[in-house]
Structure 1
């Protein structure tokens, strides 16, 4: 193998445009990776991205206006329904608890500490799995 040949092989990956199923042959080794099978797909993917981004912006604005309209009627959210903010807070708490439990599982710690972290993990994940509705654990 001489110094000019930096390729160590080839792989086929799917085209970066979601609607295209053509493979993109890439050289392994140094250099920029190809994302699209052709310039046509690259341009189409850019148009698709801009269109999808426009839809997201439109519907996010529509959601905000609808939420303001509901608030204008002075009604509270339905009982048990999670707001996006509450769901994000629950997810953050669950991720932290999971990371702590995962670290303890890798290191191996005293059973008392592991039990406490597992209890915290269960408490953090329970609202996500039950949809925020009061969920009680089963007693043995």
Structure 2
């Protein structure tokens, strides 16, 4: 049907963009942050878990409500899983390294010498260092 101006009615209707799901956007942004903080293990791990949860919930909500953003949510899930893998790998390496170092008699002797030297400079600091040394099971 033509209007007096020569345009059809379909051409006059405004184009309404589809709403993007906010949880999917948040999952993607948080997953990017998780990748950047993965070397710091704990913040990377926490950000990864949160991004993973937001990505899953965001995709479900986007499908249910007919919103866009599923691709962002999926990328958030993928990047958060990658960040989790990096964080857990680094935590495992750090744990292994510490356990191996803990076994080293040279390391223990070096710490004892440092504590003895610290006693001359700062007796209070040396007491704190001895407590930490004992707490870590290095004595």
TM class by shorter chain equals: 0.3 to 0.5
Higher relative contact order (CA 8 A, sep 6+): 2
Q: Where is the strand percentage greater, Structure 1 or Structure 2?
A: 1
Task: Please report the TM-score for the alignment, with normalisation by the length of structure 1.
Answer: 0.34
More helix as a share of residues? 2
So what's the TM-score if we normalise by structure 2? 0.34
